[in-house]
Amino acid sequence: MADTTISTPRARRSGKPNLRLWLPLLWLGFVALAAILAPLVAPHDPLTQDLMLERLPPFFIDGTEPGYLLGTDSLGRDVLSRMIHGARIALFVSLIAATATCLFGSVLGLVAGYFGGWWDRVISRLVDIWMAFPPVLFAVLLVAVMGTGLTSVIAAIALIDWTRFARVIRAETMVQSRMDYVDSSRIGGARRIATLASEILPNVLPSIIALLMLEMGIAVIVEAILSFVNLSISSDDPTWGSMIAEGRNAIHFAWWVLLFPLIALFLTVLSFSTLGEGLKQRFDPVLQ
């Protein structure tokens, strides 16, 4: 038999570690650990004010106090402790909001892309109408109506951003629906919903995962924006967004209050989107 030679298909997988996967995982794991263990690892209470210790610089600048690694803000609260507690809120919001957005938008996208016809027309028009609203204004409006608080922030993210999933997953599903394996699933006696769930979904899943990671990053940013404009939780509670907002007022004499949370925000969002791409490649048996 000429065409039955056995190759070693798994050989390519080993070799150098995938940095696009491991670097973001390292940072996100670090942030997640800090968030979970916040009460244990934070050196100070994030809410304790001490006007004797206001605007202490970080450790590498003269005039600092030991124990205040990243300095203090204009009310004498420890920046590092507030960042660690802020990570809790950031990750909580991104996890819940992105998952809800993903489930809602992906299901609509899969249905529109696979069943087509009226399903597609109704869902696509809804997406068009939805996207005509300016998103930030929409979020502010929603939070204003529902009242401030984390639930409102999460609901606002899911209600605005489901269109991102619906659009991309619809297009991807349409491409997959034209493949012969969908017809051969019919030939093999599968119900339509079974074909969607067990044939098409596994092929769309890498895109869903990449988008989910992107959405987690976006959720962190949206939460920060809403905190920045004071529409998230109470302004006393430490969030990266509210720290950036406070830091902005003092940027000329205490830049560290703004810079450190900004770096944390930047690295977290970047990690999420890089991780999404990395995972997409990792789970694609063809690209592997």
Partner 1 sequence: MTSTNTTAPLISVRNLRLSFPDRAHKSLIGAAPRIEVLKGFSIDIPDGKITGIVGESGSGKSTLGRVLVRLLEPDSGEVLFDGTDIAHLDEGALRPLRRDLQMIFQDPMSSLNPRHKVWRIIAQPMKRYGRGGSKSDAIAALTKVGLPAAFADRYPHELSGGQRQRVGIARAIALEPRFILADEIVSGLDVSSQAQVLALLKDLARDMGLTVAFISHDLSVIRHLCDEVIVLNHGEIVDQGPVAEVFDAPKSDITKALLGAIPLPELDDNWFD
Q: Which residues lie near partner 1 (CB under 8 A)?
A: 1-4, 6-7, 9, 179-181, 183-192, 198-199, 202-203, 285-286
- Give the rounded distance of the alpha carbon of 51 from its chain centre: 36
Angle CA 156–158–162, to nearest 5:
130
Cβ distance to partner 1 smaller for residue 8 or 137: 8
Question: DSSP label at 52?
Answer: G
Closest C-alpha among 210, 192, 222, 208 to residue 105: 208
Q: In whole angstroms, how close is the CB of 48 to partner 1 at the nearest point?
A: 53
What does the alpha-carbon distance between residue 250 and residue 230 come to, in Å, rounded to a whole number? 17
Cβ distance to partner 1 smaller for residue 66 or 189: 189
Cβ distance to partner 1 smaller for residue 2 or 52: 2
Q: In whole angstroms, how close is the CB of 217 to partner 1 at the nearest point?
A: 26
Q: In whole angstroms, how close is the CB of 150 to partner 1 at the nearest point?
A: 37
Q: In whole angstroms, how close is the CB of 74 to partner 1 at the nearest point?
A: 55
Q: In whole angstroms, how close is the CB of 5 to partner 1 at the nearest point?
A: 8
Q: In whole angstroms, how close is the CB of 12 to partner 1 at the nearest point?
A: 11
Cβ distance to partner 1 smaller for residue 184 or 234: 184
Cβ distance to partner 1 smaller for residue 19 or 179: 179
Cβ distance to partner 1 smaller for residue 106 or 152: 106
Q: In whole angstroms, how close is the CB of 194 to partner 1 at the nearest point?
A: 9
Cβ distance to partner 1 smaller for residue 9 or 147: 9
Q: Who's near 226: CB < 8 A, 6+ residues apart?
A: 139, 140, 143, 153, 156, 232, 241
**Do 104 and 157 form a contact (C-beta atoms < 8 A)?**
no
Q: Roughly how many angstroms between the first and final C-alpha of the chain, as a whole number?
A: 28
Cα→Cα distances 153→52, 90, 132, 138, Å: 35, 11, 20, 12
Q: In whole angstroms, how close is the CB of 215 to partner 1 at the nearest point?
A: 23
Residue 59 DSSP SS3:
coil
Cβ distance to partner 1 smaller for residue 3 or 62: 3
Produce one character per residue of 148-177: b if its CB has 16 or more CB atoms within 10 Å, e if not.
bebebbbbbbbbbbbbbbbbbbbebbeebb
Report long-range pairs for 253-258 (Cβ below 8 Å, ≥24 apart). 253/55, 254/55, 254/57, 254/71, 254/73, 254/74, 256/57, 256/58, 256/70, 256/71, 256/79, 257/55, 257/71, 257/73, 257/74, 257/79
